[in-house]
Amino acid sequence: MSSSENTARDLQRSLVALMRQNARAGRVVVAVDALDAAEAGAFADAFAAAVDEEGTAVFRAALADGAPRARERLIAPFRAGESFGSGEVAPADAVLVVSGRFLHASEVRGLWNFSIWLESNPPIGTPRPELPEAEKHYLRTARPKAAASVIVENSDPTHPVQVFGDFC
């Protein structure tokens, strides 16, 4: 195992421990949000693997932009121990890890017990591409960096780094 894999795995384990500080047991919902849905999905898969390593039942779901109908179709049934997703039923202690874009929008941010915002920056010296208007609006209004439980700089997925924002 290379040191880069260790770094990413260590961060995932650290984030699971941080999640557990506030949600030791029960059915916990974790959101992994990024402007790139594929990036959020890959990070969420690794986070789910870290949860699985601790021996907790873990479920994964990728959500459409803004998580329409997630509360009714996925979150409420998961929390109630009812059939959700593809007919699964979560045990009393389980984690549902969802990934997608716009998951810190005011309409859905209260659904998550713990949330991760992934930031990605272009390599040094490379100009930052212009964001589409929907993404600019989301960053301006939802303020995912302020809303997230944890911020992770994920420009290099083999070396993700937890970022501590100073909101004073």
CATH number at residue 142: 3.40.50.300
Tokens of 107: 């309409």
Q: Is residue 21 part of a domain?
A: yes
Q: Is residue 61 part of a domain?
A: yes
Q: Is residue 168 part of a domain?
A: no
Q: Is residue 151 part of a domain?
A: yes
Q: What percent of the chain has pLDDT over 90?
A: 79
Give the distance from CA 136 to its chain's centroid: 20
Asked if residue 102 has pLDDT above 50, the reply is: yes
Can you give the pLDDT at residue 151?
Answer: 96
Domains: count for the chain: 1
Is residue 104 within 8 A of residue 147, CB to CB? The reply is yes
Tokens of 29: 């919902």
How many Å apart are CA 76 and CA 56, to the nearest integer? 19
Largest CA distance in the chain: 51
Q: pLDDT tens digit string along 45-98? A: 999 999 999 999 999 999 999 888 999 999 999 999 999 988 999 999 999 999
Q: How many angstroms separate the Cα of 42 from the Cα of each of 38, 45, 57, 146?
A: 6, 5, 19, 22
Domain encompassing residue 101: 3-163
